Amino acid sequence: MSDFGFLNTHRTWEDWCGMLLGALIVVSPWFPVQEQPTIVGHQTMILNAVAVGLVVFGLSQLEYVALQRWQEVMTILIGLWLSASPYVIGYSGEGFLRVYHTSLGAVVVLLGILQLWQDWDLNDQDMLKHGQ
């Protein structure tokens, strides 16, 4: 029987993955797409993607340096926002960006849930030892 022990401990590579996801979200509005965006709120979509990406990147950096549970909860919430933003802001007709932001938001949510699950039973002293 295999041991799934590595999924039970919050590792620093998860924080690096979060930083990579944040960077991908920031540059996502400028990826080449099939059709040019024709939405009215194109600037709003760009601002949203950059802000969400910077928040995901920053939260992952904070988790890498000083792990706290609120960071994981915020990661889950910002991932849910990124998944919902194509429909709330109004660029759900843009096929690539809608799929891209919904998918990346789901990955951010899953990463946040995994990290929260891993750290659920840790006390504050154990969380301070993260990354050492």
71-129 tens-digit pLDDT: 889 999 999 999 999 889 887 776 788 888 999 999 999 999 988 888 777 666 665 56
Contact 53, 24 (CB under 8 A): yes
Tokens 């590579």 sit at which residue? Answer: 13
Indicate the average pLDDT of the chain: 80
Q: What is the arithmetic mean of pLDDT over 8-31?
A: 84
Alpha helices in the chain (DSSP H): 12-27, 42-65, 69-85, 95-119, 124-128
**What's the start-to-end Cα distance of the chain, in Å?**
30
Q: Please report the pLDDT score of residue 51 as a whole number.
A: 96
Rg of the Cα trace of the chain? 16
Q: Please report the pLDDT score of residue 74 as a whole number.
A: 94
Q: What is the arithmetic mean of pLDDT over 56-80?
A: 88
Backbone φ and ψ for 91, nearest 5 degrees, come out as -110, 30
Distance CA 38, CA 120 (A): 44
Instruction: State the virtual CA torsion across 58, 64, 67, 73 in degrees, nearest 10.
Output: 40
Least confidently predicted of 38-47, 59-68, 92-101: 38-47
The Cα angle at residue 51 between residues 40 and 88, in degrees rounded to 5: 45
**Which of 101, 44, 112 has the alpha carbon at shortest distance from 72?**
112
Q: Please report the pLDDT score of residue 1 as a whole number.
A: 38
Q: Please report the pLDDT score of residue 55 as a whole number.
A: 96
Contact 75, 110 (CB under 8 A): no
